[in-house]
Structure 1
Amino acid sequence: MVKEKKSVHRIQMTEGKHQIIKQLLQEYNIETVADIQAALRDLLGSTIKDMMEAEMEQHLGYQKSERSDSDDYRNGYKKKTVNTSMGSLELDVPQDRKSTFEPQIVKKRQKYISEIDQKIIAMYARGMTTRQISDTLYEIYGFEASEGFISDVTDKLLPKIEEWQNRPLEDVYPVVFIDAIHYSVRDNGIIRKLAAYVILGISCSGRKEVLSIHVGENESAKFWLSSLNELKNRGVRDIMVICADGLSGIKEAISVAFPKTEYQRCIVHQIRNTLKYVPEKDRKAFARDLKTIYQAANEEDGRKALDHVTAKWQDKYPRAMKRWYDNWDAICPIFKFSAEVRKVIYTTDAIESLNASYRKLNRQRSVFPSDQALLKALYLSTFEATKKWTMPLRNWGVIYGEFQIMYEGRLPD
């Protein structure tokens, strides 16, 4: 497949532009790139001042050289420093006697006149701390942005987060995944572990969608019932399968909120919980044997494989297989599906790629200053990760057809 070349915008150099450049070179004695930046900064300051002078004339109703009977008049200038993508810039802001002048080109209390907000948010989305962002802005643009200012910029996201958390959802989801990732958060000087609970759905069109993110709540049937009821209040009427690890109270909450929904124990977590009892030398062989269980043709063969694996490794690792028996009722629903559907459910590729972005936050920040800071970082990381979610899952037509047969009458055609 031949890739289409990206078009490059070329600026046409007219004679007028050549003259401007020539004048700049002469006026500012430009020899380096830094000289160009200084010249542009100076020109920007002069241009902004002229525009504010024009705004003042419109505000007062007469030009600077004219006489007027108005009781409001010019009252000198006030120094103001703003930061731009070219560095700090000192402006002379015109004042009026009544202090009623409200400049629009650079508003009162406005400290930045470039896309700094967007740059800060983009860096925050990549997991950078407020200190790292502040240092980066200083290194690149030569001006200081306090950590408090950066927090204020990212706080602008909070209404958007609330709106996103309350947005309407689709009425039916064939599969929903629930997972938890833990972070260290500072709370009144004490560092404690908080969990970020992520709910991800696969829609009827086969597309992945993060439905909800909650931070800091304690796991319990009450908590999960509240979370599932929130989904219902946002429009979710039915879910075929909810796939989750052994979150405390989740099974009971599902049976109340969505009584027809099947609870499928996450096979990936089940495997991890088993292999933590097994040293490195035996893990590959043990993992191969575990495949004979969850890849068995049916539940009966899966149970036989479970007994066989347990007998084989029991003497060396007596605790390793206990959870397979304890959780068998939540593991066995997977056996009724074909290999294509099982792959969607037990490989958890859908949520693992998202979790990779969330784990990156843990690597970049050992401690979050607050649970609110964690929520902002998770929100931005989510939107960065989901930009690529433009296509349905592979073989979704076949998979959805199987769901329609298995759950007759519950899924739209």
Structure 2
Amino acid sequence: MSPRTHEVPDELLSSLLVNYTKPEDLIGENGLLKQLTKRLVERALDAEMTEHLGHDKHEPVANAAGNTRNGRSRKTLKGEFGELPIEIPRDRHGSFAPQLIPKHQTRWAGFDDKILSLYARGMTVREIQSHLDGLKGFPEAIEAVFPQTTVQLCIVHMVRHSLNYVSWKRRAEVAADLKRIYACATVEEAEQALTEFEAKWDAQYPPISQSWRRNWSRLIPFFDYPPEIRKVIYTTNAIESVNMSLRKLTKNRGAFPSDEALMKLFYLALRNITKKWTLPIRDWKAALNRFTIQFEGRLPQR
């Protein structure tokens, strides 16, 4: 299906410009563009934090390390728009690394291009979150190092990201309809389920189906595998938990005397991490059996 094009809704422009009387109202020191930038940046950073932690602000902790939000820090951005004070979310473990506004960065170039890009797509403030899809480069990094690897995006994170757009009273219904997509037996059935989801929900929440369509090629690889394997690979939470623990270990160290010193530190860290792996993976034996058949010669033999 070809991507849809979007025009800026007239009602959105009308609501934004309701108090406009002169150019200063739009581009002045306290004009609409500057206020809009602050709101968009802070909302986008909140979305990054949600993706980093794996759960929304008021939801139960969804990561193995027990990491949670821990207030905000302040920063003043400088750019074509002058100076702009913003608040950046923090996490308790200090492992959050913002992508939109990296740590220690105070200059933010390309302001006009970013804003025009968002509104050329007809995006509302909430829809800015869809600009964050794929920022971490996780699939590309894996494919560069392990070219034989099939990359499967995390379905759990995809659902959570989708529910960011949904009101609380509609969440259960939308989540159930999303499950009908990834619970299908085949790709063809999943595509039909996504089409039905679009027909039902696009009038209220168009960014959801847009995000699923945009990432579709990386969401469907697990349909190539039998159910035993699907149960294990549809989420990357375990991988991301390990990566987060390793990042926490190195982020406060400026340099290491050698590669060997770093590898030794990683070895000790991984040994401590594995001590916490006390809960068995559900249906792991059945999955391991299928992995051995599906990837003959690629699994270590004992």
TM-score normalised by length of structure 2? 0.46
TM-score by length of 1: 0.35
